[in-house]
Amino acid sequence: MATAKAHTNIALVKYWGKRDQDLILPHTDSLSLTLDEFYTTTTVEFDDQIDADAVSINGEPLSGKAYDKVAKFMDLVREMSGKTEFARVTSENYVPTAAGLASSASAFAALAGAASKAAGMELSRRDLSRLARRGSGSATRSIFGGLVEWQRGVDDATSFAEPIEEEVDFGIEMLAILVDTKEKKVSSRFGMQQSVETSPYYKLWPEIVADDMVAMKRAIEDRDVDAMGQIAESNALRMHALTLSAQPGFTYFDADTLAAMDEVKALRENGVSCYFTMDAGPNVKVIYDKKDRQVIYDALAQKFGADRIVVSKPGPGIEIWD
């Protein structure tokens, strides 16, 4: 039996598209910030008395597609470790409000940590990152804290994450505006594949990401939070252009997403440096330097309600224990 705690991460340069669906090998590198406020704790216990994996999240048994993903991942761990028993997988998602921003990134990173240890494997952090990748691409990066890069690699052995700065010693912070906490309508898995296969703009995406990766790493080296925000915002908008330009086109934005984007722009027009990013759902994340936290928080709390704003500092990497 083993337990692991992993934090979620938000990409500043997005992963959007796979060239291998089974191994989850991405078309591009990506870069993220691990967040302190959002995490998953998962315990895995192998048990020779059960005839299928038993999975629960926040006390509720998991079923359907979500269960199948976890069971497939556990099959992989059994194949790697030689273990034959099924397991009890008990997971808790810690999010500061009732719902929203629960993420496959922290979920599969924590599962990789707990399952591999419970199965008797002592994996390096690099190999843990490779294993987490097989559950969900973004989980690759949640093994590490702070600013993290996922190198796309050329095969299973070379596609893993590495920390850029595990201990972030400058002011970058992120706050989430939880505009909508319902299940997402189009999964990221389906949405990115649809973009790869049908958007005429997808061929430009690898070039965009390559340029953004270089610029983002330079901005990190320079501790230039403003430049980091600018690059992240433009990268996010270009990612979302791939969904709008798919066939049929779709979007993760709703009216509140656009209102939040406008509010961030209005703050900027008033001289406050802050930028937005969005993922496969309507919630908006705001990137800023902590010196500007209060003024940004006050403006957004007034507009959307304080209960919908969650401020997060950079968070740590995975922890695993018996």
Q: Considering the rule CB under 6 A, would residue 317 count as an interface residue with ligand DP6?
A: no
Instruction: Closer to ligand DP6 by CB, 123 or 209: give it.
Output: 209
Least gap, CB of 16 to ligand DP6 (angstroms): 6
Q: Are residues 100 and 7 in contact, defined by beta-carbon separation less than 8 angstroms?
A: no
Least gap, CB of 137 to ligand DP6 (angstroms): 3
Least gap, CB of 39 to ligand DP6 (angstroms): 16
Q: Are residues 4 and 114 in contact, defined by beta-carbon separation less than 8 angstroms?
A: yes
Least gap, CB of 266 to ligand DP6 (angstroms): 25
Token code pair at residue 243: 């969904």
Fill in the per-residue mask, 18 to 37: x = in contact with ligand DP6 (CB under 6 A), - = not in contact: ------x-----x-------
Q: Which stretch binds ligand DP6 (CB under 6 A): 37-45, 58-66, 135-143, 267-275?
A: 135-143
Q: Which stretch binds ligand DP6 (CB under 6 A): 117-125, 131-139, 200-208, 255-263?
A: 131-139
Q: Which stretch binds ligand DP6 (CB under 6 A): 59-67, 73-81, 136-144, 215-223?
A: 136-144
Q: Are residues 147 and 168 in contact, defined by beta-carbon separation less than 8 angstroms?
A: yes
Q: Residue 246: is it exposed, middle or buried by C-beta count within 10 angstroms (0-12/13-18/19+)?
A: buried
Instruction: Closer to ligand DP6 by CB, 29 or 173: give it.
Output: 29
Cα 226 from Cα 270, distance rounded (Å): 15
Q: What is the 3-state composition of the chain as percent helix, strand, coil, each rounded to the nearest 5?
A: 40, 25, 30
Q: Considering the rule CB under 6 A, would residue 15 count as an interface residue with ligand DP6?
A: yes
Token code pair at residue 148: 């993290």
Residue 48's alpha-carbon distances to 3, 68, 310, in angstroms, are 19, 20, 42
Residues at the contact surface with ligand DP6, assessed by CB under 6 A: 11, 14-16, 24, 30, 104, 136-138, 188-189, 279-280
